[in-house]
A and B are shown apart, each in its own frame.
Chain A
Amino acid sequence: MTHKSDVVAMLLAGGQGSRLGVLTKSIAKPAVPYGGNYRIIDFPLSNCVNSGIYTVGVLTQYQPLVLNDYLGNGQPWDLDRINGGVHVLSPYEAIGGAEWYKGTANAIYQNITFIEKYDPKYVVILSGDHIYKMNYAKMIDFHKKNNADCTIAVLEVPWEEASRFGILATDENDKIYEFAEKPKEPKSNKASMGVYVFSWDKLRKYLTEDEANPDSSNDFGKNIIPTMLADNQRMFAFPFKGYWKDVGTIDSLWEANLDIINPNVDLDLSDKTWKIYSRNPMSPPHYIGENAKIENSSIGEGCEIDGLVDYSVVSPDVTIGTGAEVKYSVIMPGATIKDGAKVYYSIIAEDAVIEEGAQIGEIPEQLENSAEWGIAVIGSKARITKGKKIAPKDMIASGEEV
C-alpha cells in the first residue's frame, strides 16, 4: 500500500522550448543550465522540497535523456524517499495504443493513476520554465482558506507588458472572474505564473471531461481554466511578490543569468533557509591565476581562470585562458575559452570550445548599426576554430565545427 500524500506536485517538463534554438536541440528546456550551478528544473524542485511537498511527478516527453540522468533517484533534492519522492513520468503504451502527451492537461490525464495512488486532496501543477523562489505551502493555505477549487499564482507585471501574459481579472477578494490569454487590452496586470493548485476531485472531473471533448487541445491555459471559469467554479488568484522570470527565449535566459550578479535584482540564492539544490559536479575549488582579472561576476567550482571576466556567469569546470576576455556572457559547464579568445554578449553552451583568438559576439558600442546587435549562441560541444569571428545573434549548432 502506498502511503497517502496530502499534496502531489506535477511538474510539466516535456516541452521542447524551441525558442531557445540550439540550446534545446538535444535537451529538454528544464535541463538547460542556469546560474552556474543549476539547471532550470532545480527551482521548481527545490521550491517543492522547501515547501514540504515530497511527492513530485516530472512529466517528460521531449529529449528526456539528460533530464532523466540529471534527476536520477532525486537524491540532490532529498527526494529519494520511501514514501513519495521524485518520479519521472514519460508517455507509455497501454491497451488501445500508445499516445504522446497531446497537451499539458492530457499529460496529467494520462497519469491519473499515478496521482490516485497517493489519494491527495490537492495537486500542484508546475512548469519547468521559470526561475523563482516560492513557498507553495502558503499558496495551498490560501487555497484552503478560500475553499477554492483552483488557485492560480499571479504576479503584477508592468501594464505595458501585460498583453504578453495570461491575464486574470479578479474582484476585491482575489476571486477570478475573467481569464484572457495575451489580451490586446488587458483589464488587469495580474499575470498567471503557470503555477496552479487544484482540489484533486475537481481537477479529475475536468480532466476527464476535457479528454472526452474531441475539439479540445487538452491544455490548462486554453481549455481547463476557461471551462472551470465558465462553470462558475471557485477560482482564486494568489498574489506573489518577488523575482520571477520566464526563461523561454535566448534574451530572457541571458538576462535571467546575469540577474544573479545584479545587486539591484531581488534574487537571493545565498539564503540558507530557502536553498536551491542541484546535482554537484564534485569539482575542486576554482583557481584564479596570476594574470586573471575578475569583476562583477560569478564563478563556479572546478574553473581555471587566467583571463578577464567582467559581468558574466561562469559555470563549473570552465577554462578561460590567458589574455582571453569574457564580458556580459553566460558560460555553461565545461566550456573552454582558449588564450586570447573574446566572448562578448554571448551564451556558450556546455563543453563548447572557443579556440585561440576567436571572437564570439560583439560589444554593442562597437557596432555602427545597433540593429545588428544581439546575443550570440554557441551550442554544446561546438568548436570555434582559431581566429574565427562569430557575429552577434548568430547561433552555432551543437557539435558543429566552424
Chain B
Amino acid sequence: MNGNKVLGMIFANIHEEALDALTDMRTMGSVPFCSRYRLIDFPLSNMVESGITKIGVVTNANFNSLMDHVGTGKPWDLSRKNDGLFLLPPYSLNSTTMWGNRIDAIYGNMGFLDQSNQEYVLMSDCYNVMNLDFEKLFEAHENSGAAVTIVGVKGKKPADFTSVLVFDKVDENGKIIEASLDPSTDEDVFYSCNIILIKKYLLQTLITTAHSKNEVSFQRSILMNCIKSEKAYAFDATDCFVGTIDSVQSYYDISMSLLNKDTKNKLFDKDRPIYTKERDDMPTLYGPDAEITNSLVADGCEIKGTVENSILFKGVKVEAGAVVKNSILMQDTVIGEATKINYIIADKNVNIKSGVELSGAENFPVSLSKDTRI
C-alpha cells in the first residue's frame, strides 16, 4: 500500500484539557514542544514521510495559533495543487455547533472524505510525541487483512486519560482477541495510541450508523465492535519513540527524557525528519560567562548566565548571573539578571525580572502562562 492511497486525518483538539494552562489559548496540536516544534508536527511529518499527500486537520476551537503554525502546509510540502493540507473547523459547512465528539466530527466532515480519492484513512491525535514509520503500518494492515489496525505501545497506561483502550489479548499475528476500556491496573499493558488505519468506505459506514444511533464514543461503539467481530489488529510501536502526553507532568517528563542523547536521536531519526514552521532566527549566541550543560537549545537565544538540564525554545534570553535549572522555557522568554529558576515551565514570552527566585519540584513543575510578567 502506498502512502498516496491513504488520507490523513489529524484531530488537533482531543484531550487538550490534560494540559491546563498550556492549552488555554491554543489547541493540543499547537502546544510548543522540544525547543522548536509544535505537537502537530509529529503526526504531520510522519504522515508526509510515509507518502501521504492529503491531510485534513480537524479542529474545534482556539485554533488561531494552529492556523498560524500550519498555514498552507508549506513546511510539510503540503501546499499543493492536488491534495495538500486542509483545515477542518466547525461551522464551516451547514453545521451550527462545535464538533461534539470524534464521531460527530468525522460525520460533519463526510464531504471531505467523499471528495478524497484515497482508499484508506489514517487518523491520529496530537498528544503522542512520536516518530513512527507509517509505511510499516500500511504493510502490516495489508498483510493481515484487517478491517482496522490500531497502533499501540506496551508500558504504563496513561493514568490521566479516561477511557484508554487496552489490548488484553493479542494473537501472534497481531489480531486483537480481547480488549477493555480503562481497566484499573498499575501493570504494564498494551494500550492504544488512538492512531487508526481503516478503509475509507468502512469508516464512513460505521460513522453514519453510529451517528444515526446518537453514539458518542468512537472507542466504545466502533472500535470495541470491530474487536468483537475479530477484524481489528494491533500494530506494536513499542520499539519506536512514542511519548503519550496526558498531563503537565508527563509533558515535562517526556521533554526531559530527550536530554538523553540516544532518546533524542530516536525521536529525531535522521531518516524521518520532523518538519516545522521556520522563523529565520540567527544562531544562538553564548556570552563570555555562559555556562551550559545537558540542555537542548533552538536558534535565536542569547545565553549569558547558567543553564543546566533545560530545554530552551527560540529567542530565549538568559541574562548574566541568572541560573536556569531543570526548566522548559518557551519562545522569547526572558530570564533577568541574577534570577534563579528551577523546575519551571514558562510559556511563550514570559518575562522574569531581575533577582527573582522561583522553584517547582521534579514531580511538580510550576507552569507560568503566556506573557506572564514577574
Contact = CB atoms under 8 A, between A and B. Distances in A.
Interface of A: 35-37, 75-76, 260-261, 269-270, 275-278, 280, 282-301, 304, 313-316
A43 to B, nearest CB: 13
Interface stretch (B161-169, B230-238, B273-281, B347-355): B273-281
Interface in B296-313: 296-300, 302, 311-312
B261 interface: yes
B287 interface: yes
A37 B283 contact: yes
Contact of B280 (A276, A286, A295, A299): A276
B76 to A, nearest CB: 11
Contact of B274 (A284, A286, A289, A316): A284
Given A290-B294, A297-B286, A270 B261 contact: no
A293 B290 CA distance: 9
**From B284, B293, B312, residue with most partner A Cβ within 10 Å:** B284
A300 B275 contact: no
Contact of B286 (A280, A283, A295): A295
A75 B289 CA distance: 38
The secondary structure that dominates the A interface is: loop
B290 A294 contact: yes
Nearest to B311: A285
Contacts of A286: 284, 296-298
A276 B268 CA distance: 26
A36 B283 contact: yes
Contacts of B295: 287-288
Interface residues of B, number: 38
A283 B267 CA distance: 12
B286 A298 contact: yes
B286 A37 contact: no
Contacts of A260: 282-283, 285
B80 interface: no
Given A289-B294, A294-B292, A296-B287, A284 B282 contact: no
Nearest to B281: A270
B36 interface: yes
Nearest to A302: B268
Given A276-B280, A301-B299, A289 B293 contact: yes
Contact of B261 (A275, A287, A299): A287
The secondary structure that dominates the B interface is: loop
Contacts of A37: 282-283, 299
A284 B35 contact: yes
B156 interface: no
B261 A285 contact: no
Contacts of B299: 37, 300-301
A270 to B, nearest CB: 5
Contacts of A36: 282-283
**From B35, B285, B288, B312, residue with most partner A Cβ within 10 Å:** B285
B286 A292 contact: no
A227 B114 CA distance: 69
B74 interface: yes
B288 A295 contact: yes
A301 B282 CA distance: 10
B154 interface: no
Contacts of A290: 293-294
B280 A261 contact: no
B296 A285 contact: yes
Given A282-B275, A284-B274, A287-B264, A275 B293 contact: no
Nearest to B293: A290
Contacts of A314: 283
A288 B293 contact: yes
A377 to B, nearest CB: 21
A284 B278 CA distance: 12
A269 B273 contact: no
B34 interface: yes
**From B74, B289, B299, residue with most partner A Cβ within 10 Å:** B299
Contacts of A315: 283
B35 A285 contact: yes
Given A289-B293, A300-B299, A301-B298, A282 B283 contact: no
Q: Which 10 A-B pairs have the closest CB atoms?
A: A285-B35, A36-B283, A269-B282, A284-B268, A285-B296, A298-B283, A300-B283, A280-B278, A294-B286, A285-B298
